């Protein structure tokens, strides 16, 4: 199985961006590129193909679900697993996000010490070598 190495983190809150970067780079050892909304993420993906995308649900300009739909429309990007993060984690919403193609949904606030391990487990659950 391919190892999870690079993550695109899409989040509009600067404090969450900072905590997640430390959690993923320092604790997890991942290469992390950050974006502040879905449109910026789509532009970044033109030159950076991460193994996984960790994305906030509610963002200005282009929210998480709308960004996911655009990713799914691109054959090259549709294979990248997307994990949503949200403070509003109701079971019906989690199922809705999974139904539209999210690999999983994580709750905010998150534990910085376990975030990397949670993403590795999700990666192992969804990743299949071509």
Please check whether residue 36 is in contact with residue 11, taking contact to mean a CB–CB distance below 8 angstroms.
Answer: yes
Residue 122 falls inside a structural domain: yes
101 in any annotated domain: yes
Cis peptide before 109 (omega within 30 of 0): yes
**94/88 Cα distance (integer angstroms):** 9
Instruction: Quote the domain boundaries for residue 23.
Output: 6-126
Q: Is residue 116 in a domain?
A: yes
Whether 30 is in a domain gets the answer: yes
Query: Could you tell me if residue 75 is inside a domain?
Result: yes
19: domain CATH number is 3.40.50.2300
Dump pLDDT digits (tens) for 7-47.
Answer: 999 999 999 999 999 999 999 999 999 999 999 999 999 99
Q: Which residues contact 115 (CB under 8 A, 6 or more apart)?
A: 20, 23, 24, 27, 28, 106
**How many structural domains does the chain have?**
1
Query: Do residues 120 and 30 lie in contact, with contact meaning Cβ atoms separated by under 8 Å?
Result: no
- The arithmetic mean of pLDDT across residues 54-70, rounded, is 96
The half-sphere exposure of 48 on its side-chain side, counting CA atoms within 13 A, is 18
Q: Which residues of 37-72 are buried (b: 16+ CB within 10 A; e: fewer)?
A: bbbbbbebbeeeebbbbbbbbebeebbbbebbebbe
Q: Is residue 28 part of a domain?
A: yes
Decide if 1 is inside a domain.
no
pLDDT tens for each residue of 86-117: 987 788 999 999 999 999 999 999 999 999 99
Contact 85, 65 (CB under 8 A): no
- CA-based end-to-end distance of the chain: 10
pTM value is: 0.95
Q: What pLDDT shows up at residue 89? A: 79
């Amino acid at each position: 199985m391919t190892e999870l190495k690079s993550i695109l983190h899409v989040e509009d809150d600067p404090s969450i961006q900072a905590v997640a970067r430390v959690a993923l780079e320092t604790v997890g050892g991942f290469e992390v590129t950050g974006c502040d909304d879905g449109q910026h993420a789509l532009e970044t993906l033109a030159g950076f193909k991460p193994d996984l995308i960790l994305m906030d649900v509610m963002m200005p300009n282009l929210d998480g679900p709308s960004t996911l739909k655009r990713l799914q429309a691109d054959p090259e990007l549709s294979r990248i697993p997307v994990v949503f993060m949200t403070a509003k984690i109701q079971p019906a919403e989690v199922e809705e996000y999974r139904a539209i193609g999210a690999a999983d949904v994580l709750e905010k606030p998150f534990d910085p010490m376990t975030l990397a391990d949670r993403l590795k487990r999700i990666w192992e659950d969804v990743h299949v070598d071509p």
